[in-house]
Structures are given as structure tokens and as C-alpha cells.
Amino acid sequence: MDESIQCEGERKACQGSTAQKRNNKEKESYKCLDCGKSYKCSSSFIIHQTVHSGEGPYKCLDCGKGFKSHSHLICHQRVQHTGERPYKCLDCGKGFKRHSSLISHQRQHTGERPYKCLDCGKGFIQHSSLISHQRQHTGERPYKCLDCGKGFKRNSHLIVHQREHTGERLYKCLDCGKGFIQHSRLISHQRVHTGERLPYKHVIPLSVY
């Protein structure tokens, strides 16, 4: 066989292999643990994560929160710091800061639950709620405490847990000044002052799982 022809064939085979690897890489998805949204490239995924972390390059001078784009910053400033809720529900009149929040809210009126769990069939109004629910089946606890290593299914549960380490107690009783890590614990405590009895089936747990 002519050597030049053999080299040409090997070159094309190599190009084909490289293209196949590139295609496979493009099919890889980067999944957000907070909302379940997936991205094909890491750069888009990293930019998306700033939505949850508040570490975007465009900073709000009022609260210091960061955003991935200037338009998102403008929207944040208009809504968060002015109290404006421009998106109104025609059924109940409730206002929302974001159109997406209005869409989710309207499902409470229609009963629509478009996000279904393939394991048990339970439906959810929001995709993020489905992602969180699915961890009951998988046992996954992706949110880890850096102080003790304990894992949680929701980031909000991790935030509450971390107050155990920092001693932060955001919720104060106006009657006695006692502070609590969770709002639910404050509500339970306030019954001490009002004399209201808490039904056994509604007892507030002392830890978040």
C-alpha cells in the first residue's frame, strides 16, 4: 500500500475519533443541585450558579448581592428594594416580583402539577420541588456541613443547621427576648406565653433532616 494513502487514512480516522469525543463531551450535562437545571457546557453552568450563590459580577450597592448580568441587577433593584410586585394574579390579586413566580402560583388555583416523580407518581408545582423530593428515594444529601460533615437534602436545611455551630438565633420572642434558630421553634415557644396547647401530631422536631 502506498505510504501516503495509509497516512491519509489514519489522519481521517484520527479526525473522526476526535470529532466523536467532542460530540460525546457536548452531550455531557452539568446539573444544578439547587434547581435541577442542566447545561451542556461548564461555562454556562458556572454562570447559572451565580443565581443561587449571589456571587455574580454585577453588585447591588444596597445589599451587596451579585448578579450574572446587568439586566438582572436592574430587575433586582427595582423589585427587592422598592417593594414593587408588578406581576398580579387575576384569581386572587396576589402580587409577585417575578413572572416565573406568578406562573408557579397560578398552579395552586388550577391544580396543575406538571412535574411528576417517576418513582411514586407524586406531582409538583415546581421542578425544584421535584428534585428535592426525589432525594427521598435516592437518599442523596448533597449539601454538606463543613464543620461536622452532616449532609442535608436541601440547602435551606443546611443553612438552619449551621446556626447550631455559629450560635446565630435570628428569631426573637418579643415577650421574653429568647432567640431561636428556626421560626417554627419561635412559634412553638410563643405558646408558653399564650397558654395555647400544641397538638401532639404537630409537635415541632428539634432537628432538621
The Cα 105–Cα 83 span in angstroms is 18
Lowest-pLDDT choice from 3-7, 109-113, 151-155: 3-7
Lowest-pLDDT choice from 7-16, 27-36, 76-85, 114-123: 7-16
Domain 143-202: which CATH class? alpha beta
Lowest-pLDDT choice from 44-58, 72-86, 147-161: 44-58
Taking the model in full, what pTM does it have?
0.44
Q: Evaluate whether 8 touches 129 at the Cβ level (below 8 Å).
A: no
- The pLDDT tens digits for 123-157 are 999 888 898 899 889 888 888 999 899 998 888 88
Closest CA to 173 of 164, 185, 163: 185
Give the model's pLDDT for residue 14.
45
User: What's the CATH architecture for 33-84?
Assistant: 2-Layer Sandwich (3.30)
Check if 33-84 and 91-140 are the same fold.
yes
Whether 39 has a pLDDT exceeding 50, the answer reads yes
User: What's the CATH architecture for 91-140?
Assistant: 2-Layer Sandwich (3.30)
More confident residue, 27 or 76: 76
CA distances from 16 to 13, 21, 22, 25 (A): 5, 9, 10, 14
Side-chain half-sphere of 170: how many Cα atoms within 13 Å? 10
- The full set of domain ranges for the chain reads 33-84, 91-140, 143-202
What cell numbers appear for 157 in the block? Answer: 436545611
DSSP 30-41: EE-TTT--EESS
Mean per-residue pLDDT for 108-114?
A: 92
Burial class of 160 by CB neighbour count within 10 A (0 to 12, 13 to 18, 19+): buried
The Cα 208–Cα 156 span in angstroms is 10
Q: Evaluate whether 104 touches 113 at the Cβ level (below 8 Å).
A: no
Whether 5 has a pLDDT exceeding 50, the answer reads no
CA distances from 47 to 22, 51, 53, 76, 145 (A): 22, 8, 10, 17, 24
54 torsion bin: left (phi>0), alpha (psi -120 to 50), beta (else)? left
Whether 6 has a pLDDT exceeding 60, the answer reads no
Q: Evaluate whether 96 touches 84 at the Cβ level (below 8 Å).
A: no
Give the model's pLDDT for residue 11.
52
More confident residue, 27 or 167: 167
Range ranked top by mean pLDDT from 24-28, 36-40, 190-194: 190-194
User: Cα–chain-centroid distance for residue 15?
Assistant: 41
Range ranked top by mean pLDDT from 29-43, 105-119, 164-178: 105-119
More confident residue, 20 or 160: 160
